[in-house]
Structure 1
Amino acid sequence: MTQTFSSTGHDSFVGTPRNRVDGPAKVTGLAKYAGEFTAADLAHGYVVSSAIARGRISAIDTAAAEAVPGVIKVLTHENRSRTAWLDYNYQDAVAPPGSPFRALYDDKIAFSGQPVALVVAEDFETARHAATLVKVAYEAEEPKTSADAVRAFAYDPPKKRAGIKPPPKPWGDADAAYDAAPIKLQNEYRLAVEHHNPMEPHASTVVYEGDGKYTVYDKVQGVSNSHNYLAAVFGLKKDDVRVLNPYLGGGFGSGLRPQYQLFLAMLAARDLERSVRVVLTRDQMWSFTYRPDAIQTVSLGSGEDGQLQALRHDAIGVTSHYEDYQEVVVNWSGVLYKCDNVALTYKIAQLDTASPGDMRAPGAVTGVFAIETAMDELAHEAGLDPIALRLRNFSEADATSEDKPFGSKALKACFTQGAERFGWAKRTPAPRSMREGHELVGWGMATGVWESMMQQSSAHAILSADGKLEVGNSTGDIGTGTYTILTQIAADTLGLPMEDVTTKLGDTRLPEAPVAGGSWTAASSGTAVMKACRNVGEQVFKLARAMEGSPLANVDFDRVSFANGRIAVAGDDSRSVALVDVLKAAGVETVEATESAGPDKDFASQYEAYTHSAVFVEVRVDEELGQIRLTRVVSAVAAGKILNPKTARSQILGGVVMGIGSALHEESMMDHRLGRFMNHNLGEYHVPANADIYDIDVIFVDEEDKANPLGVKGLGEIGIVGTAAAVANAVFHATGKRIRHLPITIDKVLG
């Protein structure tokens, strides 16, 4: 089993609320993002997007654009250089099976908004103007962009996506048990397509350093992905390309993969042998990576007591024609509830769109909405409190994974503490039974669940003679607080003040770490940083023991503690020595270490690890207007050790707000005749604003977990999972109307 380590003898930073160490740089404007880095020879690229969703380019005329003063070149599929290995079937760390999209590859159009040209000019305004002068003629074909239109062509993916568990084989006989069950429910559930819409647009700045070498600043959640992509696709030596992304203005999964602006910027930079920046417009960010629609059917059969006798969860997801995008949609039903007769199926169907992409808690937002709404319906039919129904069908082991028990599962405490904080006991069960003035009041709840994962990760630690410590690796901080928690871990491990620790991230010259996603960063990079600092501590300890008259002579390492910049015999501060004095006496300028950490195979062979939550929601619905106000949320989360309650709470708040968006606001509206998303801006695509958000109360339930040395579980995803179902269940309780197709809008409430 995994061994844990923490320094003792001083007040711990880990587990206490701390301000973000990167906060001052962000609020003062010192933090620079991918589209803000510059170079003396910087040119600007502007993407020309396709006007059709399916077909081919029959002609492209760039003469007028090229005649504009300041235009350097217009790149198209007809004149782009052959320096790019466009036939290279590159697979990055998070890509689905298939052939990744290749910009400017040929005359074929695979989706609306596909880049068909790149105008490169001396300044952005000139490039943007010239782009309007590029004339493109198309031979258009009728696109299929609706899941309903292709559901009959759904198929089981021939190659499974790495890291995505396929549905388990059925157990028992779900169909027969359903037919025999006293209570039967079968309904279809849908979520609208959603787009990530991070504040920072996707951008890449390629700085040409001369002699075939490049420094690249890319909007990406893991610089290693972009680094590997550029090396593979352009045939570059990895040492000739350095990729950085020190700050990210939100990603939500849209930056897990390199997007097409990176390819175009490098293509132009290599062709022109000068620096090039390409920034996508908000409109163009609707042309790729979105949370896909899924047609879901949930069938529940139970006894009169609400005990599940049959559970079916069937889903049809969508993908592009060039990749088999997959996510875990139906498995959550088998994870959450114990039932002897279960069938879970997941298929995909191809659309004339870009490939969908992982969007915060991919698959779980979709699938948990369906099962948690269905369970609320079953509670109503069986006359049970929704919490009581969930406890009656509570799972102590993961039935989708050989019935392995959970390493920890404090979900019952989430139910108890969340219900108490919310005042759930005062709820009257009948729909439309609670009101205040002209508003119907509804209380709903749901369960949240997300995998607790750890990936292979490396990190370095460098202690300098002045007592300053640097730690870091290539992962990114996507706004979650990674800079801060790694600083806390490092400071605790070597007993230093946080202000004496500097954390560096988002640079391919740092030790390699996984992309920032999946809620695995704290466990993965945090453990690697802790191990690297421990290694440094062991080296310094050996130097300290070798000092003349050392107070640590004949003391073993496991009997010392690190605190206040000193090494001391545990429990005897009089026998101590300052770290700076140790390095000075040894005559060394730095003590360094690089360590790696990965999943505990022994633990994984015996247990499954998940983060859980219970979400409670209050809505108030205007009885005449159908307008919904979401006035209260309580989210009780069991996520192992909380490294920083302040940044952790922020993650849950953000996830809850995003879940409210799924439930009540967000909907990418497609004109299926054109195959184009029509509300491709933040004026028409509704996200929750300040006026939509009232009180959100976050509870962190005590939970001990041994899946990793830090005892942590990720928080990036769990805040959103289950929130939409809780909202929908509250709307039903308020109005008596069950709405199974999100978002819940006024027309659906009144219709």
Structure 2
Amino acid sequence: MSVSFIGKPVTRVDGRAKVTGTARYAADFNQPGQLYAVIVSATVGLGRVTEVASTEVERMPGVVAVITHRNAQKLPYLPHKGVIDPAVGERLHVLQDDRVQFYGQPVAIVVADNLDHAERAAAALRITYVAKRPIVDHADQTMERIAPKSADGSRGDADAAVTQAPVMIDETYEIARENHNPMEPHATIAAWSGDRLTLWSKSQYLVNEQAEIAAVFGLPVDNVEVICPFIGGAFGTSLRTWPHVTLAALAARQTGRAVKLVLTRKQMFFTTGHRPRTLQRIALGATPDGKLTGVIHEGTGETSRYEQFTEALTAVTAYLYSCPNVRTQYRLAQLDTSTPNHMRGPGEASGIFALESAMDELSYKLGVDPIELRRRNEPRRDEAENKPFSSRSLMQCYELGSERFGWARRTPEPRSMRDGRLLIGMGAATATYPAYHAPASARVRLLADGLAEVEAAASDMGPGTYTSMTQVAAEFLGLQQEQVRFRLGRSHFPQTPSHGGSWTMASVGSAIRAACVEAQAQAARRAVADPDSPIFAASVDDLEWSEGRLRRRGEASGGLSYQDIVARTGAPVEAEGSAQRDPEAAELYSMHSFGAVFAEVAIDPDVGTIRIRRIVGAYGIGRVVNPLLARSQCTGGMIGGMGMAMMERTVLDRRDGRPVNAHMADYLMPVNLDIPKLEALFVDEVDPHVNPLGVKGLGEIALVGTAPAIANAVFHATGKRVRSLPIHIEDVLTA
């Protein structure tokens, strides 16, 4: 009987390596005779470097080089834009001129024989600037707003529909700037061998980092290799190739030795991206019975002056609910800051906070249960693209989640539920994220010892990629999981997309499936061509693979194993496979994941302290490859949403753009004592259109609906509507 591995709650195959410390992260690949580099960051927010007092620093113990724009190698910076890079603008050309475009920009790098010497010398380096006052706040009247290409959309006449609606909501919402703060800081070790460069570098997108650094240094792409077998969390911060990677390679080339560069926690607030601060307006028009007649969603996100970072801030509004009149508008505020970057649930997480808060406000104004309001506006098709959904289980998610959460016990009036003296609130919100897919490739190698090696240039920042891909390979090869060795984290492996956007399993998993099928086809052709084989000269069409053995159709026993076939021919079977979305399916269907998130809060009415007691999420994500990993993904996303709702905020000093809380004492995130009971449920959803595996992706959607569910629960508990994140104690205190 065939054993299925997809759908099983398998524990992590890399778990032992991680808990025993044998898993090697970027900074662990120390090289013989390596040097240590420390970045010197600009202390002004805008201006020019006029003087670098490096003479005395160069004489300090252990210092090998002080590299600035005055002595740095001039790099070609050939054109390159990966799918993750902003389409408009040009990336920072580090140490190529004297300009300072934002606070914390690298203006020098000190290289020494050990880290202590490098840090002491970097601290002693004195740099003089001609400074200007930067614009770092949306509220600055001199700030320029620009419209990205294809930023706006509309159907019907939303403005007239909202104005003329019997019931209307028109409010503004704000979300603070957030910084990624994974456990593992950014790190790169660079080593040259002639004109070939090896980078041991924290990266969620190895092939893009390979191509980017090759373009920066004017090298053939094959001359650069990026190695990253493990990532200690990322959440999007390692999708792009940031200046420190170039600096490590530059320092290694100029000194002729391998160089190790690890960013400090403070430096990770400067140059490695952030979730942009956003300002949004939502206007809803509805009939007295709750049918939406008009929706307006206007949003502004921040970007740097040298690049235009865009995200899907208003995209969800176009398709989430049924409405004949919808208008969306997206603008960018050009500021003197570094370029923002994708952060878990990018765009959707921010945009849905505003939309779902407004829907909650509308439900109270109408006197309709928040879930019932969403049910009354459930669309039958994607009204933005005028095509059916490949699958849409939103209402099933609400049914499953509300039953588990106990929504029926909720009393609708604000401030009506108590636990002793504490105010209790219950809130709900919708989650959604596109079911993305990108072209990917993988390689399968069947060995004489009965093992199968599987390779792909993917990454694993923590969701369990090693494990889930092993399950997919075992499933389609018919082997036990112990017989599969999945390898990732090297740019010369078969090409894959970025490890982000919830498309790794859909893309790489489908490619592994294709490679397994091709490996079986090659093995079968070998077997029938072998005169000593028991199936010599048989028609391949008359054969089938079952439990890793090749048999004539209808036979229940016997047959040839992969090991038998390889041993007979004396060479491994090696095959590559690729996968991409069926273009016809993409044209016919709108493909998204959906979910419903429920949150309960307890608030002290006297001092305003807010405690999240529990969160329940129910999700329709197609096929679930590993429920254990999936639940872990969901709870991690919920915790990220808690941070977004209650804690995370990067504050910039308007005088110079300095992040005033660029450390873990004042940049608050949820810790163990903050974590409530978290539950994740999955709707049994079958979607044959999204990809051969039927998976939709999970990493992003798990964060998307959490913050609005919490904010809606806070309103239910207090009667105070908070439209700005994170929510503070003073926001809920009674006046």
**Aligned equivalent of 2:26, options 4, 24, 34:** 34
Counterpart for residue 460 of structure 1: 443
Counterpart for residue 103 of structure 1: 94
Q: Normalising by the residue count of structure 1, what TM-score does the alignment of the two structures yield?
A: 0.95
Counterpart for residue 627 of structure 1: 609
Q: CA deviation at 1:170?
A: 1.4
Q: d(CA) in 2 for partners of 1:570 and 1:552? A: 15
Q: d(CA) in 1 for partners of 2:267 and 2:5? A: 43
Q: Does 1:327 align with 2:311?
A: yes
Q: Does 1:70 align with 2:57?
A: no
Q: Does 1:134 align with 2:118?
A: no
**Aligned equivalent of 1:526, options 494, 509, 519:** 509
**Aligned equivalent of 2:620, options 623, 626, 638:** 638
Note if contact 2:502-2:700 (Cα within 8 Å) is conserved in structure 1: yes
**Aligned equivalent of 1:595, options 577, 602, 610:** 577
Indicate how the Cα distance of structure 1 residues 230 and 343 shifts in structure 2: closer, same or farther if over 3 A, else same. Answer: same
- 3-state SS of 1:397 partner: coil
Counterpart for residue 297 of structure 1: 281
Structure 1: which amino acid aligns with 2:573? V
Structure 2: which amino acid aligns with 1:95? D
- 3-state SS of 2:371 partner: helix
Q: CA deviation at 1:570?
A: 5.7
Q: CA deviation at 1:469?
A: 0.4
Counterpart for residue 692 of structure 1: 674
Q: CA deviation at 1:408?
A: 0.5
Aligned residue runs from structure 1 range 110-189, under 5 A: 110-149=101-140, 153-157=144-148, 160=149, 166-167=150-151, 169-189=153-173
Q: d(CA) in 2 for partners of 1:462 and 1:549? A: 21
Q: CA deviation at 1:674?
A: 2.4
Structure 1: which amino acid aligns with 2:124? L
- 3-state SS of 1:460 partner: strand
**Aligned equivalent of 1:60, options 28, 41, 52:** 52
Q: CA deviation at 1:167?
A: 4.5
Q: Does 1:410 align with 2:393?
A: yes
Deviation track 1:72-123 (CA, whole Å, cap 9, x = no partner) reads: 01000111122x214x343233111210011112111111111110000011
- 3-state SS of 2:225 partner: strand
Q: Does 1:232 align with 2:232?
A: no
**Aligned equivalent of 1:313, options 278, 281, 297:** 297
Q: Normalising by the residue count of structure 2, what TM-score does the alignment of the two structures yield?
A: 0.97
Q: Does 1:345 align with 2:335?
A: no
Q: CA deviation at 1:219?
A: 1.1
Matched pairs, number: 730
Structure 2: which amino acid aligns with 1:133? A
**Aligned equivalent of 1:505, options 476, 481, 488:** 488
Q: CA deviation at 1:569?
A: 4.7
Q: CA deviation at 1:582?
A: 2.2
Structure 2: which amino acid aligns with 1:377? E
Indicate how the Cα distance of structure 1 residues 383 and 32 shifts in structure 2: closer, same or farther if over 3 A, else same. Answer: same
Q: CA deviation at 1:553?
A: 7.0
Q: CA deviation at 1:575?
A: 4.2
Q: d(CA) in 1 for partners of 2:533 and 2:415? A: 80
Note if contact 2:621-2:697 (Cα within 8 Å) is conserved in structure 1: yes
Note if contact 1:448-1:612 (Cα within 8 Å) is conserved in structure 2: yes
Indicate how the Cα distance of structure 1 residues 570 and 612 shifts in structure 2: closer, same or farther if over 3 A, else same. Answer: farther
Indicate how the Cα distance of structure 1 residues 211 and 331 shifts in structure 2: closer, same or farther if over 3 A, else same. Answer: closer
Counterpart for residue 395 of structure 1: 379
Structure 2: which amino acid aligns with 1:332? V
Counterpart for residue 80 of structure 2: 90
Note if contact 1:328-1:364 (Cα within 8 Å) is conserved in structure 2: yes
Structure 1: which amino acid aligns with 2:286? S
Q: Does 1:606 align with 2:588?
A: yes
**Aligned equivalent of 1:255, options 221, 225, 238:** 238
**Aligned equivalent of 1:576, options 559, 567, 570:** 559
Counterpart for residue 430 of structure 1: 413
Note if contact 2:210-2:226 (Cα within 8 Å) is conserved in structure 1: yes
Q: d(CA) in 1 for partners of 2:51 and 2:487? A: 48
Structure 2: which amino acid aligns with 1:355? T
Note if contact 1:331-1:400 (Cα within 8 Å) is conserved in structure 2: no
Note if contact 1:443-1:734 (Cα within 8 Å) is conserved in structure 2: yes
Q: d(CA) in 1 for partners of 2:554 and 2:348? A: 48
Q: Does 1:673 align with 2:665?
A: no
Q: d(CA) in 2 for partners of 1:711 and 1:201? A: 34
- 3-state SS of 1:655 partner: helix
Q: Does 1:567 align with 2:558?
A: no
Higher mean alpha-carbon deviation, 53-62 vs 571-580, is at 571-580
Q: d(CA) in 2 for partners of 1:136 and 1:578? A: 68
Deviation track 1:524-583 (CA, whole Å, cap 9, x = no partner) reads: 0001111111111112222333454626974655862331x4234566422422221222
- 3-state SS of 1:529 partner: helix
Structure 1: which amino acid aligns with 2:632? S
**Aligned equivalent of 1:658, options 640, 653, 672:** 640
Note if contact 2:173-2:354 (Cα within 8 Å) is conserved in structure 1: yes
Note if contact 2:46-2:656 (Cα within 8 Å) is conserved in structure 1: no
Structure 1: which amino acid aligns with 2:690? A
- 3-state SS of 2:45 partner: coil
Indicate how the Cα distance of structure 1 residues 571 and 15 shifts in structure 2: closer, same or farther if over 3 A, else same. Answer: farther
Q: d(CA) in 2 for partners of 1:557 and 1:254? A: 48
Q: CA deviation at 1:149?
A: 1.5
Aligned residue runs from structure 1 range 1-16, under 5 A: 9-16=1-8
Q: CA deviation at 1:584?
A: 2.0
Q: Structure 1 regions of 5+ residues with no counterpart?
A: 1-8, 161-165
Q: CA deviation at 1:150?
A: 5.2
Note if contact 1:609-1:707 (Cα within 8 Å) is conserved in structure 2: yes
Q: Does 1:190 align with 2:181?
A: no
Q: Does 1:22 align with 2:14?
A: yes
Structure 2: which amino acid aligns with 1:366? S
Report sequence identity in percent: 42
Q: Does 1:281 align with 2:273?
A: no
Deviation track 1:329-361 (CA, whole Å, cap 9, x = no partner) reads: 112112111111111000111001000000011
Deviation track 1:701-733 (CA, whole Å, cap 9, x = no partner) reads: 111112100000111101000110000000000
Note if contact 1:89-1:100 (Cα within 8 Å) is conserved in structure 2: no
Over 6 Å off, 4+ runs: none
Higher mean alpha-carbon deviation, 610-619 vs 175-184, is at 175-184
**Aligned equivalent of 2:248, options 265, 282, 289:** 265
Higher mean alpha-carbon deviation, 443-452 vs 566-575, is at 566-575
Q: d(CA) in 2 for partners of 1:169 and 1:419? A: 33
Q: Structure 2 regions of 5+ residues with no counterpart?
A: none
Deviation track 1:589-608 (CA, whole Å, cap 9, x = no partner) reads: 20010111111101001001
Structure 2: which amino acid aligns with 1:340? P
- 3-state SS of 2:319 partner: helix
Structure 1: which amino acid aligns with 2:128? A
Q: CA deviation at 1:363?
A: 0.3
Counterpart for residue 205 of structure 1: 189
Q: d(CA) in 1 for partners of 2:534 and 2:527? A: 7
Q: d(CA) in 2 for partners of 1:531 and 1:203? A: 34
Note if contact 2:143-2:334 (Cα within 8 Å) is conserved in structure 1: no
Deviation track 1:380-412 (CA, whole Å, cap 9, x = no partner) reads: 0001000100011112222222x1111001111
Q: d(CA) in 2 for partners of 1:221 and 1:726? A: 29
Structure 1: which amino acid aligns with 2:182? P
Counterpart for residue 163 of structure 1: none
Q: d(CA) in 1 for partners of 2:605 and 2:693? A: 50
Q: CA deviation at 1:274?
A: 1.3
Q: Does 1:471 align with 2:454?
A: yes
- 3-state SS of 1:103 partner: coil
Q: d(CA) in 2 for partners of 1:571 and 1:723? A: 51
Q: d(CA) in 1 for partners of 2:598 and 2:513? A: 36
Note if contact 1:168-1:331 (Cα within 8 Å) is conserved in structure 2: no
Q: Please, what is the CA RMSD of the aligned residues?
A: 1.5
Q: Does 1:449 align with 2:432?
A: yes
**Aligned equivalent of 1:220, options 182, 203, 207:** 203
- 3-state SS of 2:163 partner: helix
Note if contact 2:623-2:693 (Cα within 8 Å) is conserved in structure 1: yes
